[in-house]
Amino acid sequence: MLRVMRLRRNARSVTSEIERIIRAVRAAGATRVYIAYRWYEEDTDGVAALVNHLQQADFAEAVLVRDIPAYNLGLVGCWVQQNAMLVSGLCNHDLREPLPGSLIQNADKGEWLQVSVSNLPVIDTHAALCENGICPVLHGDVLIYQDGTHLHGNLPCEAQLWLYERLFASDRDKAEVSGP
């Protein structure tokens, strides 16, 4: 049985609480823990300490996740404007077209670079969702974001499956072969 937990903390909190976190994860019977937060806001020393602690700890359940592409744009307002004839002036971008990379506030890999070369299990959401620096906000005609920084939690089944395959397929394959 696969039990999954999501842990959202900053690098320094995870580092200082790592033994307590590992005990709690194992007591809950989780086989996967996704540690996700805004790597681009982290400091170099905090991330280095987290990577070092995770490499030394026996914590095979942990998977580090890069935050999704986050936009400095009112995506919902853009979508409403595109789909309602009475609304205008909310947005100068057509969401069906590639958005300029300059709108992605966390495009710079920043401290994620330390994580990605650490040999720890990772999911790089930018690599999963984007191609050649272009990150879609629509799947078909469905807006996959609930705002500029969060994926929508109420997507149609087909869009959910698309996201799942893009984000978790590589982790699922590894777990089937060598996971806990």
Would you list the DSSP string of 51-68? HHHHHHS--TTEEEEEPP
Whether the per-residue pLDDT at 179 is higher than 50: the answer is: no
Is residue 119 classed as helix, strand or coil in its secondary structure? Answer: coil
Query: Exposed, middle or buried, 108 (CB in 10 Å: 0-12/13-18/19+)?
Result: exposed
Of 137, 169, 143, nearest to 68 by C-alpha is 137
- Quote the percentage of the chain above a pLDDT of 90: 1
CA distance linking residue 58 with residue 134, whole number of Å: 37
How does DSSP classify residue 102? G
What is the model's pLDDT at position 6?
63
Q: What is the mean pLDDT of residues 72-97?
A: 82
**Tell me: the pLDDT tens digits for 101-118?**
888 888 888 788 888 888
40 or 45, greater pLDDT: 45
What is the model's pLDDT at position 7?
62
How does DSSP classify residue 30? -
How many residues are present in the chain? 180
| Residue 6, token pair as written in the block | 């999501």
- Quote the percentage of the chain above a pLDDT of 70: 84
Task: Name the one residue in this structure whose structure tokens are 């609930």.
Answer: 146
User: How many beta carbons lie within 10 A of that of residue 172, not counting itself?
Assistant: 15
**DSSP conformation letters of 121-165:** -EE-HHHHH-BTTB--SEETTEE-BSSSSSB-SS--HHHHHHHHH
pTM recorded for the entire structure: 0.77
**Tell me: the pLDDT tens digits for 146-175?**
988 888 888 889 888 888 888 887 666 554
Whether the per-residue pLDDT at 2 is higher than 60: the answer is: no
Under the banding of pLDDT at 50, 70 and 90, the label for residue 11 is low
Of 42, 31, 36, nearest to 7 by C-alpha is 36
Contact criterion met (CB below 8 Å) for 35 and 9: yes
Whole-angstrom distance between the N-terminal and C-terminal Cα of the chain?
11
Rounded to the nearest integer, the mean pLDDT of the chain is: 79
| Residue 176, token pair as written in the block | 């089937």
Cα 77 versus chain centre, distance = 23
Whether the per-residue pLDDT at 1 is higher than 70: the answer is: no
